[in-house]
Structure 1
Amino acid sequence: MSGRFAGRSVVVTGAGSGIGRATALLFAREGARVVALDRSESVEETAAQHPAVLPLRGDAADEADVAALVATAVERHGCLDVVVANAGVSGGTRGLFELGAEDWAALLRVNLIGPFLAIKHGAKAMLEIGRPGAIVCTASVAGLRAGAGGPAYSASKAGVISLVQTAAQQLAGSGIRVNAVCPGLVETGMTRALYEAARAKGREDRIGQLNPLRRGGEPEEIAAAIAFLASDAASYVNGQALAVDGGLSSSHPFARPWGVGETTV
């Protein structure tokens, strides 16, 4: 077995499609044994693409399911080296006055409590086994500053960045590194409607036009960044949020649709 992650044990949440699927398959191709979690049956399709990927149906924001995910990896592989907390939901683009507390609670449950559970149970297993490891959470450029997502989504991803920083400090001396990747616009199940709408209007060339590369990203490009953060090449990278966004967050330009008391035309 060869590759950067030869013989290593990896778990990936939200692995049924998009960034999660690309990440699980990249680790598998580079020698890792992967347990891929998703609440959708599409995780079976991910596993069908590589024999080193074991599919597991479950909720990344349910503590029992996350504990079972980690336990499965340890029982099958004898260790746990990498945790990728990728599962997330967008919550749409509704504004502050269009959202209720229940909307925020549902989104925070997946986007913020989910990564917390992955860190909690993943780090605990690594500590019990007594070997260093890496944890990577999927945040977003929307968590860095305004203009890249709705209020609830943006706040949840800012929370992920803070969680990563805090966890890195809490795990000081353990050899466990905790980092986040902050994707820009990427074509996934979460953004499919946006991409399809642009194509239907013949405006596909406008996708990603606000970043210096003038294009959207691919799931494989985010997976490559996640793999870097989990690899030995990033052995001195800890508590960081790496933007992978074509340069969007270097300025975060955006057209303000409307303000309080204003209406759209």
Structure 2
Amino acid sequence: MARFTGKSIIVTGAGSGIGRATALLFAREGGSVIVADQAETVEETADLIDRAGGTAHAIRIDAGSEDDVVRAVTVACEYYGGLDVMFANAGISGGMANIFDTDVALITEVLRVNLIGPFLAIKHAAPKIAERGGGAIVLTASVAGIRSGAGSPAYSASKAGVINLAMVSAQQLAGSNVRVNAICPGLTETGMTKPTFDYARDAGKMDRLGRLNPLRRGAQPEELAEVAAFLASDAASYVNGQAIAVDGGLSSSHPVTRQDYGKTAV
């Protein structure tokens, strides 16, 4: 497959996890990718793409800084002649403090990166994508933004904002042929969740990760990358303003006492 041949693409948060997996997939399918991250591991992502025969250029940015987002868009246009796809994936967790233990500085920083970052990505990428005749913007939200129980108040609020931002921006870009959608990952093995996965492996408790979803496991970044790439591709040409949960079925139910398939309820 070569869904992204001739496409100029930006991926933020590309230094690890979902961002890296998606950047590798975009490049493997012909895309020319600006891999952007605040972490120096973004250089490793570019090297992986280069060694695989793809095209990538790494830049260090703060995804919540308007100047840095403008720079990323400018670099994509200078290197690759324009912009077709923006994957605004960068985010931070902000810890697990409850509302009463969360100070204003913490929630401000979480909102700056997780919500203002995607806002800036849309604001500055959409006009360039429209100039090329249209394309796609994909945002990384979270199941934590759909309902409570999957993240801290700061993180959950930021991701709920991302979901709404996808809907609002899709409407405000009417007639531009620029589509905006969000993916909502469930528990996924990324840099953010690495301590949880490492602990489970060391303790022999991997079977407990993701036990609340019907698939009874956590996700790998490549599984999220496939959905992000679909939304960015022409195969999703009529998908717009949507938030797609990729969570093993976690968000499909209210809390219940669930029996396993093939077993008799007690």
| Same-fold call, TM cutoff 0.5 | yes
1:92 is the counterpart of 2:88 = no
1:80 is the counterpart of 2:69 = no
CA distance in 1, matches of 2:30, 2:114: 29
Equivalent runs, 1:137-156 vs 2, <5 Å: 137-156=139-158
C-alpha displacement at 1:53, in angstroms?
Answer: 1.5
Aligned to 2:264: none
Equivalent runs, 1:30-109 vs 2, <5 Å: 30-51=29-50, 52-109=55-112
CA distance in 2, matches of 1:21, 1:104: 26
**1:70/1:122 contact within 8 Å kept:** yes
Q: How many residues in Structure 1 have an aligned counterpart in Structure 2?
A: 253
Q: Which amino acid aligns with 1:5?
A: F
**2:83/2:132 contact within 8 Å kept:** no
Larger mean CA deviation between 72-81 and 246-255 belongs to 246-255
Structure 1 length-normalised TM? 0.93
C-alpha displacement at 1:251, in angstroms?
Answer: 1.3
Question: Closer, same or farther in 2 for the Cα pair 1:73/1:252, shift >3 Å?
Answer: farther
C-alpha displacement at 1:130, in angstroms?
Answer: 4.2
Aligned to 1:258: none
Q: Which amino acid aligns with 1:15?
A: A
Q: Which amino acid aligns with 2:127?
A: K
Larger mean CA deviation between 246-255 and 56-65 belongs to 246-255
Secondary structure of 1:59's counterpart equals: coil
Aligned to 1:110: 113
CA distance in 2, matches of 1:156, 1:91: 10
**1:210/1:254 contact within 8 Å kept:** no
C-alpha displacement at 1:126, in angstroms?
Answer: 2.0
Q: Which amino acid aligns with 2:85?
A: V
Secondary structure of 1:173's counterpart equals: coil
Question: Closer, same or farther in 2 for the Cα pair 1:252/1:85, shift >3 Å?
Answer: farther
**2:145/2:157 contact within 8 Å kept:** yes
1:10 is the counterpart of 2:9 = yes
1:131 is the counterpart of 2:133 = yes
Question: Closer, same or farther in 2 for the Cα pair 1:180/1:195, shift >3 Å?
Answer: same
Secondary structure of 1:178's counterpart equals: strand
C-alpha displacement at 1:197, in angstroms?
Answer: 2.2
CA distance in 1, matches of 2:15, 2:250: 27
Aligned to 2:172: 170
**1:147/1:253 contact within 8 Å kept:** no
Of 167, 173, 191, which residue of structure 1 is paired with 2:193?
Answer: 191
C-alpha displacement at 1:72, in angstroms?
Answer: 0.6
Task: Give the superposed CA RMSD.
Answer: 1.3
**2:7/2:32 contact within 8 Å kept:** yes
Q: Which amino acid aligns with 1:201?
A: A
Secondary structure of 1:136's counterpart equals: strand
Q: Which amino acid aligns with 1:65?
A: D
C-alpha displacement at 1:50, in angstroms?
Answer: 1.2
C-alpha displacement at 1:253, in angstroms?
Answer: 3.5
C-alpha displacement at 1:125, in angstroms?
Answer: 1.4
C-alpha displacement at 1:79, in angstroms?
Answer: 1.6
Q: Which amino acid aligns with 2:228?
A: I
**Displaced runs of 4 or more, over 3 A:** 252-255
Structure 2 length-normalised TM? 0.93
Question: Closer, same or farther in 2 for the Cα pair 1:65/1:252, shift >3 Å?
Answer: farther
